Amino acid sequence: MKGLKCCENCNSKWSWKQTIKKTTTFDPAMICPYCEGKQYQTQKSKNKSALLTSIVVFLILLISNLFDMSLAGALVLLPVSIAIILFIYPYLVELIRTEEYINFFKDKR
- C-beta closer to Zn ion: residue 60 or 90: 90
- C-beta closer to Zn ion: residue 16 or 63: 16
Contact string (CB under 5 A) for Zn ion, positions 7-36, x = contact: x-xx-x-------------------x-xx-
Report the nearest approach of Zn ion to the CB of residue 9 (Å): 4
In the range 40-99, which residues lie near Zn ion by CB under 5 A? none
Q: How many CB atoms lie within 10 A of CB 80?
A: 12
- C-beta closer to Zn ion: residue 35 or 85: 35
End-to-end CA distance of the chain: 40
In 1-109, at which residue ranges do the beta strands (DSSP E only) sit?
Answer: 30-31, 38-41, 95-96
Stretches 6-14, 23-31, 60-68, 93-101: which one binds Zn ion (CB under 5 A)? 6-14
Distance CA 24, CA 16 (A): 12
Helix (H, G, I), strand (E, B) or coil at 55: helix
How many residues touch Zn ion under the rule CB under 5 A: the total is: 7
Q: Put residue 3 in one of left, alpha, beta given phi > 0 → left and psi -120 to 50 → alpha.
A: left
Residues forming the site for Zn ion (CB under 5 A): 7, 9-10, 12, 32, 34-35
